[in-house]
Amino acid sequence: MSQTREITSFRFEGLARALSAVSHLGDSAGGTTSVFRREKVYSKGWGVIEVPIISGNAFRGQLRDTGMRYMLRELGDPVLSPAAFHFLTSGGALSKEAGRGLDIGQARRLRELIPLVGVFGGACGRQILEGKLQVGKWYPVCQELVDFLPSHYSKLPEAETSIYDMTDVHSFTRTDDAKGERWQKYLSQEQRGSLEVPKVKRAKDGTEIAEKPGTAQQMRYSQEVLIAGTTFYCWISLQDVTPLEFEAFASALVEWSKTPFIGGQSRHGCGEVELQFENWMSISPHTHVNAQDVGMPLGQTYNEHLREQKKAILEVLQEIS
């Protein structure tokens, strides 16, 4: 296996703009309303405050998923062992079992055959393979976080708006279609009957209380979101990557650009974004990826590597247990 070993580092920074409300949940104390993920920061003029911030791991995890999905598709959608599946998609897990692990040669071969392992890293057996990708947190451009922005972004009009004016609460409803007449023809007579007969429970004083029939399927819940139009400052850094690793990472970013969402509730239309990295790549759901030359290609070398090394890649994946 031959590949150019030129080593290069990159840092790209830019702005992402929410095209729909963004949901990114933090810790919840229960109930049907969830709050946006928050972090404590010390901000000049504001003191210690809690502000909504999107974790870098949210974006990094999506890039890992889209990159690995692209690679597996190019390899013919192979069936993986659970260990190999979790290693590729979530980074795997350490194991204390004796005899498990990779020696230096095996780890090097794994990174060379699967360049995205070099980019994202992972844990295999008793060994951690360090990744070369760092992903910054997505800081909303707002009054409270202006000191955390590069100077050329701190003058943006959005920086004059409070983050708390950019939050909203969206509510969602799930209906119980089983109780609609047009759907009941798909249920058995017994199931339809269970929807009509009320359940009875006995109170502590012995009183019988009739409850609504059937198991409740309908519900209403709410989530705090950042509104459409919110602008985020973000950055990514690649340290000491080979040309092949750079192309593999670019393939993950291009694959993500086909459905550029961040956070959760994308099934409800939340989290759609457009992203502009300075002097490099522009991503929008309305246009094809536009990438400027940064001295590293977005070409076919990575695809050729996957085709030429397909057998060896599948073999090394089978060795992960």
- The DSSP string of 73-126 is HHTT-----HHHHHHHHH-B-----TT-S--HHHHHHHHHHSHHHHHH-EEETT
The parent domain of residue 205 ranges over 176-217
200 and 279 belong to one structural domain: no
Cα–Cα distance for residue pair 207/92, rounded to 1 Å: 54
Contact, 222 vs 33, CB < 8 A? yes
Tell me the chain's radius of gyration from C-alpha atoms: 25
Specify if 13 maps to a domain.
yes
Q: How many domains does the chain have?
A: 2
Mean pLDDT of 126-133: 85
At 54-105, the pLDDT tens digits run: 999 999 999 999 999 999 999 999 999 888 898 899 887 666 664 555 556 7
165 and 65 belong to one structural domain: yes
Cα–Cα distance for residue pair 311/321, rounded to 1 Å: 18
Q: Report residue 280 as tokens.
A: 């490099």
What is each CA distance from 249 to 9, 55, 211, 298, 302, in whole angstroms? 13, 19, 55, 9, 10
89 and 208 belong to one structural domain: no
Specify if 104 maps to a domain.
yes
Q: Report residue 14 as tokens.
A: 């830019």
Local confidence band at 120 (pLDDT 50, 70, 90 cut-offs): very high
Question: What is the structure's pLDDT at 78?
Answer: 94
Question: What is the structure's pLDDT at 142?
Answer: 96
pTM value?
Answer: 0.81
41 and 140 belong to one structural domain: yes
Mean pLDDT of 110-116: 93
Question: What is the structure's pLDDT at 28?
Answer: 63
Contact, 35 vs 24, CB < 8 A? no
Q: Give every CB contact of residue 301 below 8 A, 6+ residues apart in sequence.
A: 243, 244, 247
Contact, 265 vs 18, CB < 8 A? no
248 and 154 belong to one structural domain: yes
Other C-beta atoms closer than 10 Å to the C-beta of 242 total 21
Local confidence band at 193 (pLDDT 50, 70, 90 cut-offs): low
| 149 or 281, which is more confident | 149
Asked if the model's pLDDT at residue 177 lies above 80, the reply is no
At 195-227, the pLDDT tens digits run: 665 555 666 666 655 455 555 556 677 899 999
Question: What is the structure's pLDDT at 299?
Answer: 62
Specify if 73 maps to a domain.
yes
